[in-house]
C-alpha cells in the first residue's frame, strides 16, 4: 500500500476528470512522479493544489493567471501561509471584479429609460472614451431622432 495517489484517485477525491488533470499537467499547473511503468503518481498535497485551482477558476481567474500565482511556490506543496498570501491577492482581484460589475449595474440604473446610449455622452458606452475624440457622429439617439 502506497501513500501516493494515482490519477484516478485524485480525480475521484478532487472531483475533476482525469482528462482535466492531464490538461493541468500539460499546462504546468501540476506535476506528477511516474512509476516505472510511466503511470502518474501524486503526493497527497496535490489535493490541496487542485482545490485551489478550482476555487480560483470559480472566481473567474484564468488558468494562466492561476499558474503564475502557483509558480511563486515552486515546492509544489502549498502551505497554509502560501494559501493565505494567494487568497489575499485573489481577494483583491475579486474586489475589482465586484466593483466593476457594481458600477455597471449602477450605470444601468441611472440610465434606465433614458435610452441615449450615446458613444459620446452615455455613461454606459465607451468606458475608455477612446472613440470620444472621433469628432462628429457619436450621438446615436439624436441622429435617430433627426430622421
* Chain residues that interact with a copy of itself, rule: CB under 8 A: 3, 12-15, 44-45, 47-48, 51-52, 54-55, 58-60, 79-81, 83-84, 87-88, 90-91, 94-95, 97-98, 101-102, 104-105, 108-109, 111-115, 117, 119, 122, 124-127, 130-131, 134, 137-138, 140-141, 143-144, 147
CB of 107 to DNA, least distance (A): 20
Listed in sequence order, the residues at least 6 apart from 3 whose beta carbon sits closer than 8 Å to its beta carbon are 44
CA atoms within 13 A on the CB side of 144: 7
From the list a copy of itself, DNA, none, partner contacted by residue 36 (C-beta under 5 to 8 A by kind)? DNA
Check binding of 69 to DNA (CB under 7 A): no
Cell matching residue 28: 504546468
The listed partner (a copy of itself, DNA, none) that binds 75, CB under 5 to 8 Å by sort, is none
Question: Exposure of 73 by Cβ count < 10 A (0-12 exposed, 13-18 middle, 19+ buried)?
Answer: middle
44 interacts with DNA by CB under 7 A:
no
**41, 35 contact by CB (below 8 A):** yes
According to DSSP, the residues that pair with 33 across neighbouring strands are 41
Cβ nearer to a copy of itself, comparing 75 with 88: 88
Question: Which of 5/32 has CB closer to a copy of itself?
Answer: 5
Residue with grid cell 455622452, as numbered in its chain: 121
Amino acid at each position: 500500500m502506497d501513500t501516493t495517489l494515482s490519477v484516478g484517485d485524485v480525480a475521484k477525491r478532487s472531483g475533476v476528470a482525469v482528462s482535466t488533470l492531464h490538461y493541468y499537467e500539460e499546462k504546468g499547473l501540476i506535476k506528477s512522479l511516474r512509476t516505472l511503468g510511466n503511470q502518474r503518481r501524486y503526493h497527497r498535497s496535490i489535493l490541496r493544489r487542485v482545490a485551489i485551482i478550482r476555487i480560483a477558476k470559480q472566481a473567474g481567474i484564468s488558468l494562466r493567471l492561476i499558474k503564475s500565482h502557483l509558480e511563486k511556490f515552486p515546492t509544489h506543496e502549498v502551505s497554509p501561509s502560501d494559501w493565505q498570501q494567494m487568497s489575499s491577492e485573489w481577494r483583491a482581484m475579486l474586489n475589482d471584479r465586484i466593483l466593476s460589475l457594481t458600477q455597471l449595474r449602477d450605470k444601468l440604473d441611472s440610465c434606465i429609460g433614458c435610452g441615449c446610449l450615446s458613444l459620446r455622452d452615455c455613461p454606459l458606452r465607451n468606458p475608455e472614451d477612446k472613440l470620444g475624440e472621433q469628432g462628429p457622429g457619436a450621438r446615436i439617439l439624436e441622429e435617430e431622432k433627426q430622421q
